[in-house]
């Protein structure tokens, strides 16, 4: 994953496995690492705060509140 906003979000997510796209050896090692973690039931758990922040229900609620605020202002 190249540097940038997407990479930063995946790091914040906390349960991502990142490699640079041109490093085939690193990709291979990461796939093996993921498999071993899966096999041993030790996959990382995502950051709950990050997941909640991107929950569609919560985002919809926030958007609804914004619309209601602007509708009342008119």
The pLDDT value given to residue 71: 82
Termini Cα distance of the chain = 45
The pLDDT value given to residue 19: 94
The pLDDT value given to residue 74: 65
The 10s digit of each residue's pLDDT in 40-60 is: 999 999 999 999 888 999 899
pLDDT along the chain (74 residues), means of 10: 86 93 96 98 94 91 88 74
- Contact call for residues 23 and 17 (beta carbons, < 8 A): no
The pair of structure tokens assigned to 11 is 């790091």
For the chain, give me the number of helices (H) and strands (E)? 4, 0
Q: Using CA atoms, how far apart are residues 9 and 27, in angstroms rounded to an integer?
A: 19
């Amino acid at each position: 994953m190249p540097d940038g906003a997407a990479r930063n979000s995946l790091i914040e997510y906390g349960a991502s496995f990142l490699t640079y796209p041109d490093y085939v050896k690193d990709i291979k090692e990461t796939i093996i690492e993921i498999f071993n973690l899966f096999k041993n039931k030790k996959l990382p758990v995502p950051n709950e705060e990050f997941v909640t922040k991107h929950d569609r229900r919560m985002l919809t609620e926030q958007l609804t509140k914004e619309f209601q605020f602007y509708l009342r202002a008119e």
